[in-house]
Structures are given as C-alpha cells and as structure tokens.
Amino acid sequence: MNIKIPFVDLSKQHQLIKNQLENAIENVLDRGDFILGKALADFETAFATKSGAEYGVGVASGTDAIALGLRACGIKNGDEVILPANTFVATLIGVLRAGAKPIFVDCKPDTALIDLEAAQAVITTLTKAIIPVHLYGQMVSPKELLDFADTYKLLIFEDAAQAHLAQREGCHPGSVGIAAAFSFYPSKNLGAIGDGGMLVTQDPDVAKMMVKLRNYGASKKYFHTDYGTNSRLDTLQAAVLLQKLPYLSDWNRDRFNIAQQYDTELAFLKNYGIIPLENHSGDGHVYHLYVIKIDNSCPQTRETIQEKLAELGIQTGIHYPIPCHLQPAFSDLGYQAGDFPVSEKLSQQILSLPMYPGLSNNQVREVIAALGSIVTGVSGSESFPNAADSVASLQLS
C-alpha cells in the first residue's frame, strides 16, 4: 500500500539537524564515555531547566522513570496510587513495579484527562499518591491537582511521557508535583533514536535516590545501599537529545499550528459526529497526538473510516483501544467491563490523525478532505479544500 501521509514522519526533523546529530555521536565515540558520560550530564541539566525543575536523572525508558521514580519518592509495597484507566499500560506497569497497588479512576469525556472528582471517591488511608497523566500533550490542571493533593495529603507524581514542555496555568510538567516522568521514545515530541526516559524533580533527596536506583542501588562504585537496577540513559541517546532540545519549542509550536488548522477545518464535520477532543490549555497544549472522537451520530464506523483512510494512503492510530483495567494481563486486579464507562466508551470512539512537525497545510487539508468525503458521502479529494468551502458545499448539497 502506498503511504501518502504517514501517521508520524521523523525524517524531516532529522534531516534539518543531521550534521549536528552526526557530530554529537562522533564526539561520544571519540570520548568513549558511553555510560553516564558528559552528554548525559549536560542533557539532564538542560532538560530539567527547560521543564522548570532543579534536577534531571536519565534512565533507560519512560516506564523505568515511573517505576524507579515512585520508589525514589518514597512509595512502598502496599501503598495505593491513583491513576486513570485511560492511559498507556506503562503507567500501570510502573506502579506495579514500584510495589504499589494501582487504583484506577475514570477520565473526562471532553479531554480524556483524569477525572479528579472520581478520584475523591476512591481515597483510603492507604492512598499515598496520584499520577495525573498529561495525555496527548495536554496537562491536567495544576491548580486543581495542587488543591486535590493538599486536601487529601497526597504526592503528585506526573506522567509527562506525552507532554514535553507543555504548559498550563503557568506550569510545565515537572514543576507541579514532587516529580515527573518523561519518555524519549523516538516518536515523542522530544524523541531519541532508541528508548530513553528521565525523571525531573525539585527535591534533592528524590534526585539522589533516583541516581542510586538507576545504577544498581550504588551510592558509589561497588557499594550498594539500595535494591536498584540497571537503567541508565545511554550517553549516545543523550547526545542526540541534547542536539534536538533547542528545537523542541519550535516543533511544539508547529504541532499546535497544525492542530489549530485541524480544529478550524474539521468544524463542519461536528454535525456528522466527528468531534476533536477539547483543548483547555490554550497554546500550552503541545499535541503529541491529535485525537478526534467518532460518536454514534456518525454515519460511518471508526473501523470503516480508518480502513478507507488507509486505502487512500493516510495512516491513523488509536490511543488506546483497550483501557488498562481490561487488559488480560492485569485481570487479577479485579476490575471488569463497566467499571469506567467514560474510558471504555472513548476507547471505542477515538482516532488519532497524522501529527508531526513538518506536516504541511496541504497534507492536513488532504486528511480533512478524505475524512469529509468518507463521512458525508460527498466524493472527490478536492471537495473540502478548507472550512469555509466545506460548509458551503454541504449547505448546497
């Protein structure tokens, strides 16, 4: 199948800085400091500063950033940790690996972010922390989080794997809770050329513990004070990320502008059951993903829409088709279908459209035109060149 518009295309951003990336990798090769090297230390400082935090500790993945990060923050076996059912399974696995008991809550239908009102109902004397997942590039409200955590005396541990340099109410991820976990999986807003992750924090004790936990629990070589593991962000990956970091704000702005175009030119399809998730963060939303809902009023099913878009060479994704509480691997947690109706409904409605820096205006229009043709039955790839023409054409039809 010929792919005209991929779901993600990293080639443009890499081509822009190819020489810088090659030089950075060559410098690491020349120095030979492949583990815990200079580029890692430089990147940890730079990324923490950009995130409004004091310390950064690079690890092997975003999952490790959650699992080790929770332990570094004092979460112990048997502690209850609240998290949304609507998240990638890494959030859940991180909680379980920390020895804690995950307590799921539902999400809000308009944003897909954690529902803090629902979270109030599950708090017990064992509840120690809440993990707000800053999903799809949009932060959970810092003010609401801080009020919630202060009321119930909980730690806020942010899952910011999809929200690099996002902003809301004057805060970045990493400046709200005790710590924030990031992923540098290649397709993230700031992506490595392999796996990687980081914990950022304001707390020197959390940072110190994290440094030990990622390196076999050693406070110094061959002296192991804690039960740690091997989870270190490779110096080569850090060198690549350090070169990309200065471009991140521009790439995020590009994503936001693409989302604005989607929002404007998809508006005519609202009456056909195509509804973008809401942005409550203004230009602080960094749109790791652009997600629409396909509700019951749509004349086509999500599966049909996705299939027909694929036939036209347009790739899409679904994030996420099965909520965490319904994943077979975690049935022993005791949850079942119907426990979190909003998350379950969203999992059957959502569709992620192509989104990446460098996606052109014409490509966005082609996606919208294809989607419009499929949903409305008005044929022709040029039927919906922009929002105004889209509305006019439908009024005349």
Which domains occur in the chain, in start order?
11-105+114-246 (3.40.640.10), 248-396 (3.90.1150.10)
Average pLDDT in the chain: 95
- The active-site residue out of 50, 108, 188, 212 is 188
pLDDT for 104: 98
Q: Rounded to an integer, what distance in angstroms lies between the CA atom of residue 33 and that of residue 37?
A: 5
Q: Rounded to an integer, what distance in angstroms lies between the CA atom of residue 339 and that of residue 351?
A: 22
Q: Is 18 a catalytic residue?
A: no
DSSP type of residue 140: P
Query: Does residue 84 sit in helix, strand or coil?
Result: strand
User: What percent of the chain clears pLDDT 90, i.e. is strictly above it?
Assistant: 94
Question: Quick one: 92 exposed, middle or buried, by C-beta within 10 A (0-12, 13-18, 19+)?
Answer: buried
20-29 pLDDT tens trace: 999 999 999 9
335-377 pLDDT tens trace: 999 999 999 999 999 999 999 999 999 999 999 999 999 999 9
Burial 109-130 (b: 16+ CB within 10 A, else e): bebbbbbbebbeeebeeebbbb
Other C-beta atoms within 10 Å of 46: how many? 16
Please spell the DSSP secondary structure of 290-341, one letter per residue: EEEEE-TTSSS-HHHHHHHHHHTTB--B-S-SS-GGG-GGGGGG---TTSSH
User: Is the pLDDT assigned to residue 395 strictly greater than 80?
Assistant: no
Total number of residues shown for the chain: 397
180-210 pLDDT tens trace: 999 999 999 999 999 999 999 999 999 999 9
Burial 262-286 (b: 16+ CB within 10 A, else e): beebbebbeebbbbbbebbbeebbb
pLDDT for 1: 62
Q: Rounded to an integer, what distance in angstroms lies between the CA atom of residue 80 and that of residue 119?
A: 12
pLDDT for 389: 55
pLDDT for 380: 53
The one-letter amino acid code at 390 reads: S
